[in-house]
Chains A and B, each alone.
Chain A
Amino acid sequence: MKKTRSKEKNPFIGALDQISKNQDMKSFKMVFDYFGPRLKSFLMSSGAEESVAEEVIQETMTIIWTKADFYNPKLASPSTWIYTIARNKKIDILRKSRKAVLENIDTAILPPVEPKLEEDIEHDQRFEILNKYLDDLPKEQLDLLKMNFIEEKSHGEIAEITKIPLGTIKSRIRLAMEKIRDRIEKDNKSNDPNIKNLGIN
């Protein structure tokens, strides 16, 4: 069986694993020190006040500690898992009633719809494809995605800031997502054992 090409393992995958298996405080501090300040920046850029941002961070870190065994590196990268916990927490905290409506789904990262064979998952290049695409994007494009997804600005606000027409903004965001999807699907097809047997690639 073909071996996966060696990739630099994200150190946070190991850290989350240590937190889950051994309640390792050193790993937890490492996660806190790296993601805490980055979460603060992301939360405040979407309008949260400093004290609210820090409250979200504190609760996010607590969830990471208590639910570290929910993390599956095959389904999401560490930063994505942590991001979604913080995002869900932020939604709950910023609501007027502050009721923790989303607490049961705070760590939900969804598995692929069609169950994949173990060897397909080994070859799953989704993360590489996505990271490479984003690494290659020109800065204005990345800023557009940032304003949309992280800062949660409306398309109208983005248009005002960038002086790019409204329609163009919407289509650029769509295009980025479609391109990544197309590349992922193309990769899935080239790994499909049925196609492999036919000698098509």
Chain B
Amino acid sequence: MLDIMAQPSVTPAKLLFQQCVAESSTEGNTFNFIRNEISGYLLNKAEPRALRKNVWKKTLASIKSSNRQKRHVITDPFYNNLPVVLQDYLSNKKVKWKNYSDVKVAMLTPSAEGDKLELIHVMPGGSIPQHTHEGKENFLVLHGSYSDEYGEYHEGSVQTRDEDHDHKPVGHQTTGCIGLAYTDGKIKFSGKFSKILNFFTS
């Protein structure tokens, strides 16, 4: 968990993933606090660089024409259990779910970024076909649990997988599993149906 939290946030997908890790466990929360406060400390110590004259004028004009904003509240029970930062982020967006037999996947950030953030909903006892990863995937368990050849994973935990991991995750028999997957790179299906599955996700 520390590795992903020690990295700068450079894309929306990465930032959201880190914020969700921060909301999902005390440890994540503490690391998030630390990394943000380190940055705040460094900002305070930064060498000031003079602004050009029109920045203040533009700022004044901008605040004169601005309104105080309010947060939207969603009442969908599924969304209400997601981390607050994700609820806020999704409040003005439409989520499109892709349905496979045991799993639903929703892409949360625009696809042209080079990394991606997905919400993954594994049905009770459902499984994702055998696969490995091109690049790195960080997976945060938001609800329920899942297991694979390497172990069992519960709410608030983060697993990191790359091309050295070939695995077949199975959702918990009763609760299934909802998780957030942050990936740098693509998933490569490796099992029996790999040709077809790789075609669908490319």
B30 in complex: contacting residue of A38, A79, A80, A185, CB < 8 Å: A185
Name the interface residues of B177-193: CB closer than 8 Å to any CB of A.
none
Q: Does A134 contact B (CB under 8 A)?
A: yes
Q: Contacts of A95 on B, CB cut-off 8 Å?
A: 11-12, 110, 113
A114 near B62 (CB under 8 angstroms)?
Answer: no
Which of B37, B46, B89 contacts A76, CB < 8 Å?
A: B37
Do B88 and A108 touch (CB < 8 A)?
Answer: yes
* CB–CB A130/B30 < 8 A: no
**Taking the complex as formed, is A174 at the interface, i.e. its CB lies under 8 A from any CB of chain B?**
yes
Task: Determine the chain A residues whose CB is within 8 A of the CB of B9 once the complex forms.
Answer: 87, 91
- State whether B41 touches A130 (Cβ < 8 A): yes
Given contacts A38-B48, A79-B40, A82-B43, contact A61 B59 (CB under 8 A): yes
- Within B59-108, which residues are at the interface with A (CB < 8 Å)? 59, 62-63, 66-69, 71-72, 84-85, 88-89, 91-92
- Kindly list chain B residues whose C-beta atoms are within 8 Å of the C-beta of A80: 36-37, 39-41, 43
Chain A residues near B34: list those with CB within 8 A.
Answer: 130, 177, 180-181, 184
Question: How far does the Cβ of B177 sit from chain A's closest Cβ, in whole Å?
Answer: 20
A146 to B46, CA, bound (A): 10
> Do B42 and A127 touch across chains, with their CB atoms under 8 A apart?
no
Q: Helix, strand, loop or mixed for chain B's interface?
A: helix
Contact, CB under 8 Å: A178 / B29? no
Contact B43 A40 (CB under 8 A): no
Task: Give the bracket for the number of chain B residues in contact with chain A.
Answer: 35 or more
Contacts of B23 in A (CB 8 A): 110, 113
Encoded as 1 (CB less than 8 Å from any B CB) or 0, chain A from 98 to 120 comes to: 01011011001110111000000
B109: chain A residues within 8 A (beta carbon)? 101
Partner of B56, one of A32, A41, A87, A109: A32
Contact: A177 with B6, CB < 8 Å?
Answer: yes
Residues of A within 8 A of B91 (CB): 104
Q: Which of A61, A77, A110, A150: most chain B Cβ within 10 A?
A: A110
Q: Mark B10-48, 1 if CB is under 8 A from A, else 0.
A: 111001100100111111111111111111111110111
Q: Chain A residues with Cβ under 8 A from B31's Cβ?
A: 177, 181
A184 touches B30 (CB 8 A): yes
With an 8 A cutoff between CB atoms, is A190 at the interface? no
Say yes or no: A152 contacts B8, CB within 8 Å: yes
Is there contact, CB below 8 Å, between B88 and A105?
yes
Within 8 Å CB of B46, what residues of A?
38-39, 41-42, 150
Distance of B127 from chain A, by nearest CB (Å) = 30
The listed residue (B19, B37, B39) touching A110 by CB distance below 8 A is: B19
Chain A neighbourhood of B68, CB < 8 A:
66-67
Residue numbers in A under 8 Å from B40 (CB-CB) = 76-84
A201 CB within 8 Å of chain B: no
Write out the residue numbers on chain B whose beta carbons fall within 8 Å of the beta carbon of A150: 8, 39, 42-43, 46
Complex formed: what's the CA distance from A113 to B7 in Å? 21
Complex interface: chain B residues within 8 A of A41 (CB): 46-49
Set of chain A residues within 8 Å of B58, measured between Cβ atoms = 58
Known: A83-B36, A110-B23. A104 touches B71 (CB 8 A): yes
Contacts beyond the supplied A39-B43, A40-B49, A40-B51: 11 A-B pairs with Cβ under 8 Å? A58-B58, A67-B69, A76-B33, A87-B39, A95-B113, A108-B88, A109-B36, A113-B28, A150-B42, A152-B8, A173-B6
Query: Contact residues of B with A, CB < 8 Å?
Result: 2-3, 5-12, 15-16, 19, 22-44, 46-52, 55-56, 58-59, 62-63, 66-69, 71-72, 84-85, 88-89, 91-92, 109-110, 112-113
What are 7 A-B contacts defined by CB distance under 8 Å?
Answer: A62-B59, A77-B37, A80-B37, A134-B38, A148-B8, A152-B8, A177-B6
